[in-house]
Amino acid sequence: MQTITNSAGDLSKSLHAPIEFDISFAPPKPTPSSPRGNTAFQQLFIPWIVRGEDGKLKVQSQPPAHLIHALADATTQNPKKKVKKKKPQASSSSSAVTSSSTSEPKLSKAARRYYNENIKEPPQRLSKVLAAAGVASRRTSEELIFDGKVTVNGSLCTTPQTRVDPTRDIIYVNGNRVPKKLPPKVYFALNKPKGYICSSGEKETKSVVSLFDEFMASWDKRNPGTPKPRLFTVGRLDVATTGLIIVTNDGDFAQKLSHPSSSLPKEYITTVAGDVHKRHLMAISEGTVVEGVHCVPDSVELMPKQHDIPRARLRIVVHEGRNHEVRELVKNAGLEVYSLKRVRIGGFRLPSDLGLGKHVELKQSELKALGWKS
């Protein structure tokens, strides 16, 4: 019984004593750093190496002042806004229609400069544009302008020096519009036969230009949609002289080659009647007066005789290019010209296999030999 009592007493004590638990918690998880919080110990340090006023390099945490100002002054590029195309309004002024319908595309400043300096042709004289378009010769074109038969952008134009752009301006001659696209520049070497003159007049039945009728007849087939060129000769050869003559539609090229300032040497082979002595050669080399100018040849040479050509031949080189210059030189020496042929102009020589009345188109290298730089 005693044992039971003690046990009961111990049980009552244990019931009234406080109960203690041994509980432990896991360590707290690290909280993610917030960009908005205190960044004194979390900010990434970017060093800036700059040169101070004393000229020495130093490290600083702030970017240089000039960089901050440059970023502040910089402007962002806004995306291009779509521009609604306005319908062209009808206008009675032909020039307004021309400018609106043929406006150039908007290009960069460098692209426009390159186009204007290397590709676009500047405005030209009205008479020159008409001649290049094949309307007539430059002199005849000036007469058409003076006669009031030419209009530019709907207005009568009587001044041949008026500057026009055929790609922009609307030009009419006798009610017919001049095409915007001018014919390409062409250059030919022709072996002129005897009996043909260098005039391009329509009334002339045996003109040098008539030797190109077959070429012009096939132009549309070979160059569809391209205007025909108006051909003319560079300089002249008289009706009895044969040989090399240049035919083109480039007025600037013709003017440069035929102008006395070009000083292009021209070589002729002349066959004379009778015997040639030293005194004849001396008289030719001393020159003579042609058109009021004393002309002296560059060289005179007696060519060796050939078995198939019984007459004496002279090689004469001149650079003046005066009318009948070679004939006058030979005549002044007391000789009679039997035949005269031009075989060279500048550095270009008449091809030996080119028959009489035949022509060949000149290449760039041959144009350079004539002293022309396109």
What are the start-end ranges of the E strands in the chain? 48-51, 57-60, 124-125, 150-152, 155-156, 163-164, 171-173, 176-177, 187-192, 232-234, 242-248, 266-273, 288-290, 293-295, 299-302, 312-318, 336-345, 348-349, 359-361
How many Cβ atoms from other residues are within 10 Å of residue 137's Cβ?
16
Going from the C-alpha of 73 to that of each of 48, 111, 231, 233, the distances in angstroms are 21, 28, 62, 65
Going from the C-alpha of 215 to that of each of 255, 322, 354, the distances in angstroms are 24, 31, 16
d(CA 216, CA 202): 15
Give the total residue count for the chain. 374
Retrieve residue 121's tokens: 């042709």
The residue annotated as part of the active site, out of 73, 238, 250, 275, is 238
353 labelled catalytic? no
Q: Are strands 359-361 and 288-290 parallel, antiparallel or unpaired?
A: unpaired
Place of tokens 């000083």: 263
d(CA 139, CA 160): 10
Going from the C-alpha of 110 to that of each of 75, 102, 113, the distances in angstroms are 22, 21, 5
Give the three-state DSSP class for 282: helix
DSSP string, 98-161: HHHHTPPPP--HHHHHHHHHHTSPPPEEHHHHHHHTTSS-HHHHHHHHHTT-EEETTEE---TT
On the CB side of 156, how many CA atoms lie within 13 Å of its CA?
6
Q: Are strands 336-345 and 242-248 parallel, antiparallel or unpaired?
A: parallel
Q: Are 359 and 188 in contact (CB under 8 A)?
A: yes
d(CA 150, CA 141): 9
Annotated active-site positions, please? 238
